[in-house]
């Protein structure tokens, strides 16, 4: 049997600290890698050992696999945890990590490659009878895109075949906007994921974004841990997540969970992962969107309602140990909400805000958790993701959890950069949130303009 002794965390920010906490509780030593810009970063101070890996630009440091592997060999690490982002879902990179003799704390390279190609992932779902929205692809030219759009009908969503996180995604209502959306999607697909190929999918207006957390070990267990509602988004990036969803009952939860488990079993998936769906709440119909083959930013809300430490399970699975739970003893209790605190200005189209955090105070008290990768004095630069920390709360039901989140956000203090805190606090008081009337276009279509008007009126 394996025994992980030392894990190199190939990431930064709050997820690096989160992984190191999980390792520390299991008696596993940790190694932080850092760029020149991150010499004083929180994750660097938290680790047992550190290795500098290059300049601030991610391509020359956190995405430089030669330097990552060199650091892992130099410090004697026996495993690498990718966190999320960077090369967490890069099958070729994972293949190199495995070939170099390191344990990759995540699924195998083949499963990552398969589900990282959105069209191949759709084919897996189709073979298993999981519902899909009409789509067309792969498409490599504006002419192909125009012809496919005529067949499918509008509105449509244009997506790069590779990658995730909403990068390159665009909604189009007619042919006039299609060429521009294709250029945008193919360019960003090439830049971010090395592939300019796109596909079209029928667009569902006012849909819910609901995902199922799964965990799978090497001993035949694949377990669904319930859903997370992730419908409040800007530019296809999530801002607020909660569990359970206010529109998912136990019957629908079981149906979506069973679909997620079928997909994971069919591809021989191991470790934790998330299967994402679009949900038409009125018709109670759901459609496969994609699978994220990594730990998710929003994993804490599942941890809060189940009491299961997902990072600990990742480490156990990588160590060839069985899950610490079975499907029979998973118990979901209460309600959890996560708000992402980003260094962005909602009043200026979420423009990034940079500078030095001059003062920082986190909320505490019953049912409050903060996952953070910054301290007072931390530098916030343009080089990396703007996520500073996540505020997560738990309470007995959605109304009490919302009240607790309002209290927690009101206690949060971040000075030196602009953040999303005030906007999130305002959302928690909105009628749409409190009545559960949310969908993927609500924030940009309605809540942001109303918040700007609210601020302008003082």
Pairing of strands 29-34, 6-9: parallel
CA separation for the pair 86, 61 (Å, rounded): 10
Instruction: Say if CB 53 and CB 64 are below 8 A apart.
Output: yes
H or E element at residue 75: helix 65-75
Q: Which of 105, 107, 20 is nearest to 292 (CA)?
A: 107
d(CA 80, CA 46): 17
φ, ψ (nearest 5 deg) of residue 456: -65, -35
Is 294 annotated as catalytic? yes
Distances (CA, A) of 179 to 191, 315, 383, 427: 18, 45, 30, 35
- Which positions ≥6 away from 318 have C-beta within 8 Å? 2, 4, 79, 103, 104, 105, 106, 271
CA dist 208 and 343 (Å) reads 26
Catalytic residue among 18, 67, 96, 294: 294
Q: CB atoms < 10 A from the CB of 179, how many?
A: 14
Cα 286 off chain centre by: 20
CA 259 to chain centre: 20
Residue 379 CB neighbours (<10 A) = 17
Neighbouring-strand partners of residue 323: none
Most distant CA atoms of the chain, gap in Å: 64
* Residue 199: φ, ψ to 5°: -145, 165
Q: Give the single-character DSSP code of 102.
A: P
Residue found under tokens 């969803």: 245
Distance of alpha carbon 121 from alpha carbon 380, whole angstroms:
36
**Residue numbers annotated as active site:** 294
């Amino acid at each position: 049997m394996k025994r992980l002794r030392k894990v190199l965390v190939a990431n930064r920010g709050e997820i690096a600290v989160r992984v190191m906490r999980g390792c520390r509780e299991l008696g596993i030593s940790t190694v932080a890698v850092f760029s020149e810009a991150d010499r004083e970063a929180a994750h660097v101070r938290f680790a047992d050992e550190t290795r500098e890996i290059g300049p601030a630009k991610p391509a020359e440091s956190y995405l430089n696999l030669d330097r990552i592997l060199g650091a892992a060999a130099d410090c004697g690490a026996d495993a690498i945890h990718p966190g999320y982002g960077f090369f967490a879902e890069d099958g070729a990179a994972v293949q190199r990590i495995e070939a170099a003799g390191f344990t990759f704390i995540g699924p195998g390279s083949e499963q990552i490659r398969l589900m990282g190609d959105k069209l191949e992932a759709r084919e897996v779902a189709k073979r298993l009878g999981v519902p899909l929205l009409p789509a067309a692809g792969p498409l490599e030219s504006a002419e192909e895109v125009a012809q496919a759009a005529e067949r499918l009908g509008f509105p449509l969503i244009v997506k790069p075949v590779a990658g995730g996180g909403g990068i390159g995604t665009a909604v189009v209502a007619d042919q006039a906007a299609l060429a521009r959306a294709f250029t945008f999607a193919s360019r960003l697909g090439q830049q971010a994921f090395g592939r300019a190929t796109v596909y079209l999918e029928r667009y569902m207006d006012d849909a819910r974004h609901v995902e199922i957390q799964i965990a799978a070990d090497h001993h035949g267990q694949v377990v669904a841990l319930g859903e997370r509602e992730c419908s409040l988004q800007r530019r296809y990036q999530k801002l607020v997540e909660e569990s359970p969803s206010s529109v998912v009952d136990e019957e629908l939860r079981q149906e979506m969970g069973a679909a997620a488990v079928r997909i994971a079993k069919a591809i021989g998936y191991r470790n934790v992962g998330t299967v994402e769906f679009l949900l038409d709440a009125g018709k109670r119909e759901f459609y496969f969107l994609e699978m994220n083959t990594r730990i998710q930013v929003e994993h804490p809300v599942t941890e809060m309602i189940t009491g299961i430490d997902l990072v600990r399970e990742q480490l156990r699975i990588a160590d060839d140990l069985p899950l610490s739970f079975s499907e029979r003893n998973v118990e979901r209790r209460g309600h959890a909400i996560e708000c992402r605190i980003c260094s962005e200005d909602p009043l200026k189209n979420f423009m990034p805000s940079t500078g030095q955090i001059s003062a920082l105070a986190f909320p505490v008290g019953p049912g409050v958790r903060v996952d953070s990768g910054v301290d007072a004095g931390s530098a916030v630069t343009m080089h990396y993701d703007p996520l500073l920390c996540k505020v997560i709360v738990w309470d007995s039901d959605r109304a009490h959890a919302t009240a607790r989140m309002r209290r927690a956000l009101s206690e949060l203090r971040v000075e030196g950069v602009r953040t999303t805190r005030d906007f999130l606090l305002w959302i928690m008081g909105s009628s749409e949130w409190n009545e559960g009337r949310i969908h993927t276009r609500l924030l940009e279509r309605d809540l942001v303009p109303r918040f700007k008007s609210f601020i302008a009126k003082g």
